[in-house]
Structure 1
Amino acid sequence: MELLDQFVLFIISLLANLLSAFSGGGAGLIQLPALIFLGLPFVIALATHKVASVALGIGATVRHLRERGLEKRLALFILATGLPGVVVGANLIVDIPGRIAEVALGMLTAGLGLYSWRRPALGQTESLIHRDRRGFIIGGAGLFLIGALNGSLTSGTGLFVTLWLVRWFGFEYKRAIAYTLVLVGVFWNGAGALTLGLIAEIRWDWLPALLLGSLLGGYFGAHLAIRQGNRWVKRAFELVTLVIGVKLILG
Structure 2
Amino acid sequence: MEIELWLIVVLTCVAVFTGFLDAVAGGGGLVMMPALLFAGLPPSLALGTNKIQSLAGTTMALRNFARAGLVDWRKEKWLVLIVFVGAGVGSLMIQLISARILELMVPLLLTGVALYVIFSPRMDDTKRHELLSRKGYAPVATAIGFYDGFFGPGTGSFFAATFVGLRGEGLTRATGHAKLLNVATNVASVLIFALGGKIVWLLGLAMAVGSMTGSWIGSRFAVRHGAKLIRPLLVTISLLLTAKLLYNWFVPS
Q: 1:21–1:181: 8 Å Cα contact kept in structure 2? A: no
- Aligned equivalent of 2:119: 114
- Corresponding residue pairs, total: 238
Q: Secondary structure at the match of 2:70?
A: coil
- Aligned equivalent of 2:38: 37
- Aligned equivalent of 1:69: 70
- Aligned equivalent of 2:149: 151
Q: Secondary structure at the match of 2:133?
A: helix
- Aligned equivalent of 2:50: 49
Residue type at the aligned position of 1:124: D
Q: CA deviation at 1:49?
A: 1.4
- Aligned equivalent of 1:211: 208
Distance in 1 (CA, whole Å) between partners of 2:25 and 2:204 is: 24
Distance 1:195 1:140, change over 3 A: same
Query: How far does the alpha carbon of each residue in 1:43-73 deviate from its partner, in whole angstroms, 9 at most, with x for none?
Result: 2222221112111112212322221111123
Distance 1:240 1:175, change over 3 A: farther
Q: 1:92–1:152: 8 Å Cα contact kept in structure 2? A: yes
Unaligned runs of 5+ in 1: 117-121
Unaligned runs of 5+ in 2: 247-253
Q: CA deviation at 1:164?
A: 0.8
- Aligned equivalent of 1:22: 24
Q: Secondary structure at the match of 2:76?
A: helix
Q: 2:83–2:181: 8 Å Cα contact kept in structure 1? A: no
Distance 1:216 1:18, change over 3 A: same
Distance 1:218 1:146, change over 3 A: same
Sequence identity (%)? 24
Alignment pair present for 1:87 and 2:88: yes
TM-score, length basis structure 1: 0.78
- Aligned equivalent of 1:119: none
Distance 1:100 1:49, change over 3 A: closer
Q: CA deviation at 1:222?
A: 2.3
Distance 1:2 1:107, change over 3 A: closer
Distance 1:112 1:135, change over 3 A: farther
Q: Secondary structure at the match of 1:65?
A: helix
Q: 1:109–1:245: 8 Å Cα contact kept in structure 2? A: yes
Distance 1:192 1:248, change over 3 A: farther
Q: CA deviation at 1:86?
A: 1.2
Q: Secondary structure at the match of 1:40?
A: coil
Distance in 2 (CA, whole Å) between partners of 1:199 and 1:73 is: 32
Distance in 2 (CA, whole Å) between partners of 1:240 and 1:149 is: 24
Distance in 2 (CA, whole Å) between partners of 1:103 and 1:136 is: 32
- Aligned equivalent of 1:130: 130
Distance in 2 (CA, whole Å) between partners of 1:249 and 1:46 is: 15
- The root-mean-square deviation of aligned C-alpha atoms, in Å, is 3.1
Q: CA deviation at 1:12?
A: 0.7
Residue type at the aligned position of 2:130: H
Distance 1:108 1:20, change over 3 A: closer
